[in-house]
Structure 1
Amino acid sequence: MSLTSTLRGGLTQLAAAARFLGVLTVLLGLAYPLALTGFARVVVPHRADGALVERDGTVVGSALVGQSFAGDASYFQSRPSAAGDGYDPLASGASNLSPENPDLVATVRQRIADVAAFDGVDPAEVAPDAVLASGSGLDPHISPEYAEQQVARVARTRKLAPATVRSLVADSTTGRTLGFLGEPRVNVLELNLALDGLED
């Protein structure tokens, strides 16, 4: 086989590979994502755009991504976040520290003390999700137990009856998916917007 025919065969294979790459790029990089996005917009239009939450025409967050309300006693607090500098959707992830890691143990102990003082509860009664970040660091939900722990503080700060605040918590609580997947949960952003809605 001559050098010329070898080069010609190599160029033919290179051209075929380039065509194959182009076809796959169009199919998997453009057509497939566009088809799925179109399907999602028809079937679940709210979630297809990131489940954005608006208030008075302004986007204030997403029902799917947690955010910080740290330090504001008039709001329900989210669980801690280890995503980037906290609640960073571009750096989703956990701390990756083992349960026995001294830094994590010290952090959790400090969080327990801080949360207990902030909510006015006994440290032994602090809900686990008040001090432990989720695997993604972006969980928008807290447990009903953690929400209940915060009711008295929020009611006192906003000068509301605890029963009123508990009713909002109940309205913002979602049960297990399909009746058996996951745990009951409370969306913090939606609950805090409901609280603000009482003052409108």
Structure 2
Amino acid sequence: MFAILRPAVVLTLLLSALLGLVYPLAVTGLAQTVFPTAANGSLVTKRDTVVGSSLIGQEFTAARYFHSRPSATSAPDPDDATKTVDAPYNAANSSGSNLGPTSEKLIAAIKERASGFETRPVPADLVTASASGLDPHISPAAALIQVPRVASARGIPEAEIAALVTRSIEGRTFGILGEPRVNVLELNLALDANY
């Protein structure tokens, strides 16, 4: 029996050390060397203060800022742990709403969100939540439709705000993957820095 048990214990200890210690340290070291910003959460700072991450959306509600895509994330209800409450951009509970296209609740939410815009049609990413509920980007069309509100709230000509949006558009990854997009946090920081 000891002849069978000894190799099993040695192999378990060896693999635990290799896969539980050596491999994670090697990958972490490589990431810190090659991609230090991404490895540390892609944090965004303003005057040496961390204000967010370029990978996780934030809720902006003031008229003077560009608004992010709706978020369907939730958190435990502080009054009743068996229930949840809306908690937009809660990275600890990334999820979509799981409401189907015929859901009356989803249709009502889309109509309510669209009612805040004078221009039609409203880009889909301003009235529907992403699958993760944490999307930090909106489409260029979703940013441009918000220009009149932001310009009016800040007292700045629409052309200047539209030019800032155009400069903030990120192209496709490697020129072929994904769609052009605008990072809302970075756009709002550029807005504050310029105006």
TM-score scaled by structure 1?
Answer: 0.85
Q: Does 1:78 align with 2:80?
A: no
Question: Which is richer in helix?
Answer: 1
Task: Give, in whole Å, the separation in 2 of the partners of 1:174 and 1:186.
Answer: 6
SS at 1:125 equivalent? coil
Counterpart for residue 124 of structure 2: 128
Following superposition, the deviation at residue 14 of structure 1 comes to 4.7
Gaps of 5+ in 2: 75-86
Cα distance in 2 between the residues matched to 1:55 and 1:95: 32
One-letter amino acid matched to 1:133: A
| Identity between Structure 1 and Structure 2 (%) | 50
Root mean square deviation, CA, Å = 1.6
CA distance 1:19–1:96, change in 2 (3 Å): farther
Code of the residue aligned with 1:192 in structure 2: it is N
Q: 1:77 to 1:31 in 2, by over 3 A?
A: same
1:155 aligns with 2:151: yes
Residues 160 and 12 (structure 1 numbering): CA distance in 2 closer, same or farther, change over 3 Å? farther
Partner Cα distance (1:185, 1:34) in 2? 34
Q: Residue by residue, what CA displacement relative to the aligned partner does 1:52-111 show, whole Å, maximum 9, x if unpaired?
A: 0000110000001111012x0000000001122210111111111221122222222222
Deviation digits for residues 10-54 of structure 1, max 9, x if unmatched?
x65455444433333322222222212221222222111110000
- Separation in 2 of the partners of 1:94 and 1:16? 47
- Whole-Å Cα distance in 1 between the matches of residues 5 and 72 of structure 2? 46
Q: CA deviation at 1:138?
A: 0.8
Offset at residue 172 of structure 1 (A): 1.3
The partner residue of 1:27 within 18, 24, 40 is 18
Shift of 1:194: 0.4
Q: Distance in 2 between matches of 1:69 and 1:140?
A: 11
Matches within 5 A, 1:20-169: 20-70=11-61, 72-84=62-74, 85-113=87-115, 115-116=116-117, 121-122=118-119, 124-169=120-165
- 2:31 partner SS: helix
Query: What pairs with 1:151-190 in structure 2 (closer than 5 Å)?
Result: 151-190=147-186
Between structure 1 and structure 2, the one with the greater Rg is 1
1:126 offset after TM fit, Å? 1.2
TM-score of the superposed pair, with normalisation by structure 2: 0.87
- Alpha-carbon distance change, 27 to 183 in structure 1, aligned in 2, over 3 angstroms: same
C-alpha deviation, 1:139, in angstroms: 0.7
C-alpha change, 1:164 and 1:14, in structure 2 (3 Å) is farther
